Amino acid sequence: MKKIAIILSGCGVFDGAEIHETVLTMLHIEQLGAQYECFAPNLNQHHVINHLNGETQQDSRNILIEAARIARGNIHDLATLNTSHFDALVVPGGFGVAKNLSDFAFSGANSTILDIFKAACQEFSQQNKPIAYLCIAPALIGHIHPQGTLTTIGNDPDTALAAEQLGAKHVDCAANDIVIDLQQKVICTPAYMLANSISEASEGIVKAITQLIDMA
């Protein structure tokens, strides 16, 4: 049975991992006959957002502890991820990708990326194992993969430009579709960058996970 690693960036669309995208990823992996295991960095997140009113809260939360909420406690420190134990990787979206795994939300084309996250993704790539990036996560492909690797964040021109300035090649894509770079074994779908419902997000995610497992 194929085993898929999932890297999470917290819990909640505005300051962590997008919960719908993460749960859909888990569901589709299981329904397609594979297993998954979750990881997150054991670091404090950039900030905490009140998801009811959108305001920044004056407290601190740990990315791993927050991500454990989605994983029902079955999650590990990203520092312990051994890529040789897995066949593929998925990075769900949510602003945590652009705030905790990187500072893309604030710096765009001048952003930096968390070293431990970059190293994990590059290890999968070096082992010729496929990676699926969802939602905003594909914006970081230029930080991780060779110049010209295909990416998509849907069709937002400013975000697409920043992704291209980091070195990726952007392809417009509908929420229910995927973009595949066969050479690099990279799969992307816009998910909630464009999706107007959980059903629409699911259409693209199931295609991405199907392709990921087929490539693994």
Look up the pTM and report it. Answer: 0.97
| Residue 195 CB contacts under 8 Å (≥ 6 apart), including other chains | 175, 176, 201, 204
Which residues does the annotation mark as catalytic? 135
* 3-215: CATH class: alpha beta
Residues 6+ apart with CB under 8 A from 213: 2, 4, 29, 32, 33, 34, 88
Residue range 108-144, pLDDT digits in tens: 999 999 999 999 999 999 999 999 999 999 999 999 9
pLDDT number for residue 92: 98
- Are 133 and 211 a contacting pair, CB within 8 Å? no
